[in-house]
Amino acid sequence: MGERILAVRGLKTHYYIGGRVIKAVDGLDFDLERGETLGIVGESGCGKSTAALSVMGLISLRAGRVVGGQVLFKGKSLLALPGEEMRRIRGSEMSMIFQEPMTSLNPVLTIGRQVSEVFMVHKGMSRREALDEAVKILSQVGIPAPGQMIREYPHRLSGGMRQRAMIAMAIACGPDVLIADEPTSELDVTVQDQVLRLLRELKERIGMAMVLITHDLGVVAETVQNVLVMYAGRAVEYSDVSGLFNEPMHPYTKGLIASVPGLGKAGEKLGGIKGEPPSPLDLPGGCRFHPRCEHAREICRIHEPELVRVGDGRLCACHLYNDW
Ligand code: SF4
């Protein structure tokens, strides 16, 4: 086992809307080792992006609050840190890239100004030194003519180039952990491939650990080592990537894989999962997946299954994982 760099324990994050509580993340546990790539997958609304924002200390941007659990980064409890210390860690030791870079890039500042600010804030460089570093890092992420690009505004760049600029800002200080939240879902397929390849190369070069959040199991199959499957705010399965695709243990994981052409076992019919994910305002009792599960029995409607070790470092939250 490698060095554990991030440990999330019993994380609970709630949003408050119209006097009602949305339990977006409801008792999440996972670990990340130095240099590992962990995929977090699940349907929209399962809590994966909320989990990422909670780890980064950014949840207050979304009218919510972390109400329980712990986030330990290199043994330090992030949820207990003063805002200033968390801001220092965010952007230098941990960073994040988002689905749509336009929401993170400032439209009225040049790319050069925005990238160089990372070096000024976190490395104490002068404007001139920081601009030189900005040109170098833009070149490293494959932006052509970076000396000219630093004078451009975000709207003048293609989606793929904007994402590269965001990646440049995120890796500028050589973070230990990069969280990438659906980093390619707004891009067309060829650009998607380029960005994923770039992330894999950078991860190797910098030696950082990466959490890749996606609903795209094809991206997971190509990019990550281990996978956490989330459903209705909780983890339902954790496995290495080949174990997950060759022998999924949770009925939800099995349904997700069966719904993607080319990912299921040879000769297996393309399937899917019946019904819709539950509303976080009205979660079912017992196993949260039971209204959609074809294997559900009486116990599933009454008792919520724990995430338990099921061999070979794998975890599964299903009463009947051995029995269906
Ligand atoms: Fe299906 Fe029951 Fe397992 Fe839930 S606990 S996934 S309902 S078999």
Q: What are the start-end ranges of the H helices in 31-126?
A: 48-55, 83-89, 111-123
Span from the CA of 7 to the centroid of ligand 1 (angstroms): 27
Atom of ligand 1 lying closest to residue 319 CA = 5
Q: Where are the domains of the chain?
A: 4-93+173-316
| Percentage of the residues of the chain whose pLDDT score is greater than 90 | 71
Span from the CA of 287 to the centroid of ligand 1 (angstroms): 6
| Banded model confidence at residue 323, pLDDT cuts 50, 70, 90 | confident
The b-or-e profile of 187-220 (16+ CB within 10 A means b, else e) is beeebbeebbebbbebbeebebbbbbbbbbbebb
Phi and psi of 241, rounded to 5°?
Answer: -65, -40
Nearest CA to ligand 1 atom 5: 318
Span from the CA of 292 to the centroid of ligand 1 (angstroms): 9
- Report in angstroms the alpha-carbon separations of 294 from 238, 261, 271, 289, 290: 21, 21, 12, 10, 8
Span from the CA of 39 to the centroid of ligand 1 (angstroms): 23
Pocket of ligand 1 (CB under 6 A): 250-251, 287, 289-290, 293, 295-296, 300, 305, 318-320
- Give the span between the Cα atoms of 222 and 145, in whole angstroms: 30
- Report in angstroms the alpha-carbon separations of 125 from 7, 134, 141, 160, 200: 32, 11, 21, 28, 28
| Banded model confidence at residue 1, pLDDT cuts 50, 70, 90 | low
pLDDT digits (tens, 9 = 90+) for 233-261: 999 999 999 999 999 999 999 999 988 87
Which sign does the torsion angle of CA 205, 206, 207, 210 carry? negative
Range among 94-108, 184-198, 204-218 with highest mean pLDDT value? 204-218
- Give the span between the Cα atoms of 247 and 245, in whole angstroms: 6
Instruction: Name the CATH superfamily housing domain 4-93+173-316.
Output: P-loop containing nucleotide triphosphate hydrolases (3.40.50.300)
pLDDT digits (tens, 9 = 90+) for 272-308: 788 889 988 889 999 999 999 999 999 999 999 999 9
DSSP H or E stretch at residue 312: none
Span from the CA of 255 to the centroid of ligand 1 (angstroms): 12
